[in-house]
Structure 1
Amino acid sequence: MTKLLLLLGALILSSVGYVRSDASDHRYKEGDIVPLYANKVGPFHNPSETYRYFDLPFCVPEGVKEKKEALGEVLNGDRLVSAPYKLNFREEKDSEVYCKKKLSKEEVRKFRQAVEKDYYFQMYYDDLPIWGFIGKVDKEIKSDPSEYKYFLYKHIEFEILYNNDRVIEISARMDPHSLCFITLLKPFLHYHSQTIFIFMLALVGVFYPYNRGALFTALVVIYALTSGIAGYTSASFYCQLEGKSWVRNLLLTGCLFCGPLLLTFCFLNTVAITYTATAALPFGTIVVIVLIWTLVTSPLLVLGGIAGKNSKAEFQAPCRTTKYPREIPPLPWYRSAVPQMAMAGFLPFSAIYIELYYIFASVWGHRIYTIYSILFIVFIILIIVTAFITVALTYFQLAAEDHQWWWRSFLCGGSTGLFIYAYCLYYYYARSDMSGFMQTSFFFGYMACICYGFFLMLGTVGFRAALFFVRHIYRSIKCE
């Protein structure tokens, strides 16, 4: 088993190691061409609603070349093309005119709409990101929108810092006086192991803050390579309970999370295509993901299921049991499922509440999250608190002579996922400025999938902890 885990770790590191940025290794001589790519534009407050850079009527240079993106970059919505500006290494340039263009009424309308929605652009110079706004709205304390003045930035000043033969920083500033125009069970061991591998890669520095798409690539690769764990644990536990339809159980295991995720993706990708946004995945990328699922995830899931079925493990009850269930006495309302789920979910959620804001600001905003060590500690606290609160509620349930604790422990453990989704509502309306159908659907759609994953993972944590606890206490007694 140890050799298998080491082999799995080596495969994961080799598969995602290439995504680590090597920008720090780029060295240049004076006058060398440094790659500058234009990435995307979009509303600042709707980070999921992004479009190709030249979807706005900028001056299009001759021979625009598209950069071939990695899988993670495509999933992140990156669409890099060669930028029109030439910034050679350590060469000073002053007030160069790139092009002159007379805007048509339709082009003016597009720019006006972009400025009104606080559009920003993103570029990469030697893999270092550059952000800037397209323009600004001058309201001048006027309440009538028809009297607002719209400014389009027509001049960009790049400031590049060097350290000998390397680029270490770049920033872009806009000229504010520019052209003016008026007119957004298997679950536990599978997702838990995936999460642990992600944290391991983060802690060793694989996820360079400006490394485009590294996290998405790692998620896809690790999910595929750890699917065998899901098949093994699911099939072995099912056979311990003397289940006969292990093939159907394996199919359910494979579709339990991926099914809802696929339906959500199909809907949201259709929305992105309608908006012609860069969040819409190209057909080739979809084919790659389907091939990964077909050639890697599914075979490993089946192999793990076969190994689990043949593990010959039997479910050992800690004491003598009876075939006739004992009658459950009437219980007060606060001992029912919903109040206990509320109690079980609140405490673990309160342990991660503060960190959630920074994660949301990074995933659904423009902040850069780098403190993975703190996030790992918070994750461990979440697991421990979930296990302890579920064990406590299971004890009170058994003390009240209610023996139906299996599903209750799973629901209580997973209820934290419901609290996280409730926090999504609060964050959207109170802490963010996201708007529009596309950004709203992306936010609530993908967060529903993430919270569902948390529900499955933490639910299994609660069940496993309760099962361990019940085995321990009943092992000490002589009767059922």
Structure 2
Amino acid sequence: MEVVRPQLIHRWISVFVLLCLVSFEAQCFYLPGVAPQDFMKGDPLMVKVNKLTSTKTQLPYSYYSLPYCTPKQIVDSAENLGEVLRGDRIENSPFEFHMREPQMCNVVCRIVLNAKNAKELKEKIEDEYRVNMILDNLPLVMPIKRPDLDTTVYQHGFHVGLKGQYAGSKEEKHFIHNHLTFTVKFHKDPQTDAARVVGFEVKPFSVKHEYDGEWNGKNRLTTCDPHAKRTVTSSDSPQEVEDKKEIIFTYDVEFEESDIKWASRWDTYLLMADDQIHWFSIVNSLMIVLFLSGMVAMIMLRTLYRDISKYNQLETQEEAQEETGWKLVHGDVFRPPINSDLLCVYVGTGVQFFGMTVVTMTFAVLGFLSPSNRGGLMTAMLLLWAFMGVFAGYASARLYKMFKGSEWKKITLKTALMFPGVVFVLFFVLNALIWGEKSSGAVPFGTMFALVFLWFGIAVPLVFVGSYVGFKKPSIEDPVKTNKIPRQVPEQAWYMNPVFSILIGGILPFGAVFIELFFILTSIWLQQFYYIFGFLFIVLVILIVTCAEITIVLCYFQLCSEDYLWWWRSYLTSGSSALYLFLYAAFYFFTKLEITKPVSGMLYFGYMLIASYAFFVLTGTIGFYACFWFTRLIYSSVKID
């Protein structure tokens, strides 16, 4: 009893601390609700401003980093972890809307540019920055007619301004969009007369406002007629951006009744991609899977069955010695590999990522992580990664004990620190670059502390818990005995060279996902919504099957050539698909993106390196466990003296 009692107390303390941590995280990583809100006529509508974004620089900035009109007091909205990491900075705005009450030629403010303000505006216009706003959790979009397709597409936000020639001048000048015509679409309840916001659109204009007399804030603008059907048109003289130039910001608000119901209001924003391309991606991937499945079926049902039957029918030792193939290496096939500790660490980390990916995809398919919940996807991934640490510790400890390891605390510490440590260092360097550019995308100190706390406060303890449980379990027994003296591996054919077979093995898993990868990269770097999680879940299943099958096929060929060094090769075979992912990311950078600034390029390749590293760990672990199951299955099926 004297030994058990301290252990029980220690466990209860651990449980209590864990519950406190979970409670802290639940408040730290608050996810905003998306419940519908009813507005009566005349009710105020809260318009919020978000970050300024550009596909050319990938560096977000706060809305008020430019000389825009400010409210009396700037109030930051509560943001979850995912929003902060995305660079969102949601703040209140000086725009005042009232439900179903149109407004024309509302003057927000008048500013006079100085040299610094003019330079900042010109830089943002050059880099094609867009202004993002939010109304009732719905992002602002600008409708653009497509005459060739007879459809309307939606651009997120509106450009800060434009650059071009005016009035016959050969010199290009910068013009700011200082007049906004908002259209708020609403769905009305005929019984209660209440309405819900179902659309938020804008048409920006650049107009050099004129007025009579000295400016006192109440002047009537001669360039904006509130009684006209359209107060401002594109034919008006644009507002140039120059030092000491006066800019008057104005806006209109129009309300338009819509048949779209609140539950379907995001459909307009999301239905921008052609589903046929996604179906083509699925069919393409399925063809790869069917091809590999046919090969695996042939190996398992015909070749292996024939081999096992033949091996089991051998009567004399002389006959056994004359045989060649995978049975000859039975005494070495389960010999622990070189750097077995590192393999245990990577397998455990891969299990952690696999669990996070599957659970995240499940929640996303069920609709819990829709784009309407800003930052929800990233927040869920980080939290799930931390809580999946228990499976990482369990998997690494079980494999480590099978390799006859004894220092389980050492391997646990490596599992808890190695992968996240590498990622954190890369992330810290990239964040320093963003901070140097004074971008709102730089992670604040408080959020950085929360990430470190998530790592050391939740993930690391859970890795130790899982490792403790895994190491206490009985060791996994090998189906055959391992010889004391290792067998010499015969010289291999050129096509069985480890580097060649590993690189060949990564092509098919990458080929199964590369079309869907295009849409994912577009959503991340071209700032479009990605919502087709059903397709993505199917692609994930196809990826898992493809990684498993190609690794089993190549592992069988390797064993047949009497090469028993399969442990690391099974991991690297499917994991090499990450190399092709990174190469495709480089191809995407040079062909689809218009990034010119060195810092932006470093950010792109830095984040894609992190993504490729994670993909390597995920796919490598899938291939490893597929081979692990395959080798145990075939060697437990033959009679070995």
TM over 0.5: yes
1:100 aligns with 2:135: no
CA distance in 2, matches of 1:431, 1:44: 10
Alignment match, 1:331: 492
CA distance in 1, matches of 2:410, 2:45: 55
In the TM superposition, 1:85-234 aligns within 5 A as 85-130=95-140, 131-138=157-164, 147-164=171-188, 165-175=195-205, 176=234, 177=236, 178-181=238-241, 185-234=347-396
CA distance in 2, matches of 1:348, 1:136: 44
1:41 aligns with 2:52: yes
In the TM superposition, 1:302-381 aligns within 5 A as 302-312=464-474, 314-381=475-542
Give 1:437 deviation, angstroms: 2.4
CA distance in 1, matches of 2:372, 2:476: 49
Aligned CA RMSD, in angstroms, stands at 2.2
Deviations, residues 285-313 of structure 1 (Å, cap 9, x unaligned): 1122222222211211111111111112x
CA distance in 1, matches of 2:116, 2:85: 31
Contact 1:319 1:478 in 2 (8 A): no
Q: Which secondary structure does the structure 2 equivalent of 1:101 belong to?
A: strand
Q: Which secondary structure does the structure 2 equivalent of 1:87 belong to?
A: strand
1:299 aligns with 2:461: yes
Alignment match, 1:57: 67
Give 1:332 deviation, angstroms: 2.6
Q: In 2 relative to 1, CA 407–23 (structure 1 residues): closer, same or farther, beyond 3 Å?
A: closer
Alignment match, 1:474: 635
In the TM superposition, 1:247-266 aligns within 5 A as 247-266=409-428
2:41 aligned partner, one-letter code: E
CA distance in 1, matches of 2:555, 2:77: 56
Q: Which secondary structure does the structure 1 equivalent of 2:184 belong to?
A: strand
CA distance in 1, matches of 2:424, 2:591: 30
Deviations, residues 110-138 of structure 1 (Å, cap 9, x unaligned): 11111111111111111111111111122
Structure 1, unaligned runs of 5 or more = 1-7
Deviations, residues 233-260 of structure 1 (Å, cap 9, x unaligned): 1112211221012111001101231011
Q: Which secondary structure does the structure 1 equivalent of 2:439 belong to?
A: coil
1:388 aligns with 2:549: yes
1:75 aligns with 2:49: no
CA distance in 2, matches of 1:294, 1:326: 44
The worse-fitting range, judged by mean Cα deviation, of 287-296 and 464-473 is 287-296
CA distance in 2, matches of 1:391, 1:371: 31
CA distance in 2, matches of 1:149, 1:78: 30
The worse-fitting range, judged by mean Cα deviation, of 166-175 and 441-450 is 441-450
Structure 2, unaligned runs of 5 or more = 1-18, 141-156, 189-194, 206-233, 244-346
- The structure having more radius of gyration, on CA atoms, is 2
Q: Percent identity?
A: 31
CA distance in 2, matches of 1:64, 1:243: 59
Alignment match, 2:617: 456
Contact 2:51 2:63 in 1 (8 A): yes
CA distance in 2, matches of 1:470, 1:391: 9
Contact 2:55 2:593 in 1 (8 A): no
Alignment match, 1:3: none
1:424 aligns with 2:585: yes
Contact 1:20 1:207 in 2 (8 A): no
Deviations, residues 43-99 of structure 1 (Å, cap 9, x unaligned): 2333x3011111111122321212121222111111111111111222210111111
List, as ranges, runs of 4+ consecutive aligned residues in structure 1 with deviation greater than 4 Å. 18-21
The worse-fitting range, judged by mean Cα deviation, of 172-181 and 234-243 is 172-181
Alignment match, 2:561: 400
Contact 2:509 2:574 in 1 (8 A): no
CA distance in 2, matches of 1:368, 1:72: 15
TM-score after normalising by structure 2 = 0.69
Alignment match, 1:25: 36
